[in-house]
Amino acid sequence: MYVEINGWREMLARIFASFREQDNVSPEWLVNPATRRRLKLDKYYPDAGVAVRFVGLLAKGQGRQSDWEAMETEQRDQTRAELCRANGVQLVLIDAQEDAPKQLDSLIRTLSRASRTLAQSDRPPQHKQQWMPALSAAREIAIELRSRVAHNPTQAMASLAEAWRDRETSFADGATAEPSARPLPAVALDRPYAVGARVQHERFGEGVITAMEHEDRDVKLVVLFDAAEERSFLASLVHEKLAVIA
């Protein structure tokens, strides 16, 4: 179970790398009208208009729910979904025990709906110009991850879970923010690398950049190739071999 959960955490970190992330949050509008208590979202990306709730998880030591507890949980879930819809937020439910490719399909559809909702909203034009391309890039990353997970689910989730543990370790060592949220160091490049950009490598073919991370005074590019193979490169060393596809 922990492998699957951590695998999902890593996928979400990559898909929503360009967006502000709030963990275990209760927005002021997410109040259960029956109890007047706030409900929680496991992850919330306000600029994307997307929220995530992990379902099917039991706290350590918690036994199976009674029929009454299960009914209350279901009612809370329905209320949470209704409140999200009413506030223009697309809610994604993820069950780590279920088929990952099928749930990624649902996430991909959710990102498409989020993009349409943003386009039809009364948000300022500058907001739309900034975040609609980011949503499109997020969708492309989700599609690439879906291809990888479908190719070999067990191996892919284990690899993603290991990447999440490495990410957690880097935070514990003193990182204070997601690498994508901080300005990347200046590297003399002649190609506009960015998360979500499609690229072509002279050896590995086409793929998509899923992450860009600080690496001393350089930038590490993580690329998921169409052949479901993931590779990491230092930007300053690979720029002659890795071209952005216009």
Q: pLDDT per residue over 177-205, tens digit each?
A: 444 444 444 444 556 788 888 889 988 88
Q: Are residues 18 and 120 in the same domain?
A: yes
- Residue ranges, the chain, pLDDT below 50: 58-62, 176-188
Domain membership of residue 175 (yes or no) is no
Domain membership of residue 38 (yes or no) is yes
The answer to whether 142 and 108 have CB atoms below 8 angstroms apart is yes
Domain membership of residue 170 (yes or no) is no
| CATH, residue 240 | 2.30.30
Domain membership of residue 173 (yes or no) is no
The pLDDT value given to residue 173: 58
Integer angstrom CA distances of residue 245 from 134, 199, 206: 17, 5, 9
Domain membership of residue 187 (yes or no) is yes
What are the residue ranges of helices labelled H in the chain? 2-15, 67-86, 100-120, 125-151, 153-172, 235-238
Q: Are residues 23 and 120 in the same domain?
A: yes
The answer to whether 86 and 113 have CB atoms below 8 angstroms apart is no
Rounded Cα distance between 161 and 47, Å, is 26
The 10s digit of each residue's pLDDT in 36-69 is: 999 999 999 999 999 999 987 644 444 566 777 7
Q: Are residues 137 and 222 in the same domain?
A: no
Q: Are residues 34 and 123 in the same domain?
A: yes
Radius of gyration of the chain (CA): 19
Q: How many domains does the chain have?
A: 2
Tokens of 173: 């060592």
Q: Are residues 189 and 225 in the same domain?
A: yes
H or E segment and range at residue 201:
strand 198-201
- Select from 104, 6, 107 the least CA-distant residue to 51: 107
Q: Tell me the whole-structure pTM to 2 decimals.
A: 0.72
Domain membership of residue 232 (yes or no) is yes
- Select from 213, 91, 228, 245 the least CA-distant residue to 160: 228
Give the structural domain span for 120: 2-165
- Which residue's structure tokens are 């279901």? 74
Q: 89 burial class (0-12, 13-18, 19+ CB within 10 angstroms)?
A: buried
Q: 207 burial class (0-12, 13-18, 19+ CB within 10 angstroms)?
A: buried
Q: Are residues 26 and 104 in the same domain?
A: yes
Domain boundary among 134, 165, 196: 165
Percent pLDDT > 90 in the chain is 41
Q: Are residues 50 and 154 in the same domain?
A: yes
Scored b (16 or more CB within 10 A) or e, 214-223 reads bbeebbbbbb
Say whether 238 sits in a helix, a strand or coil: helix
Q: Are residues 161 and 187 in the same domain?
A: no
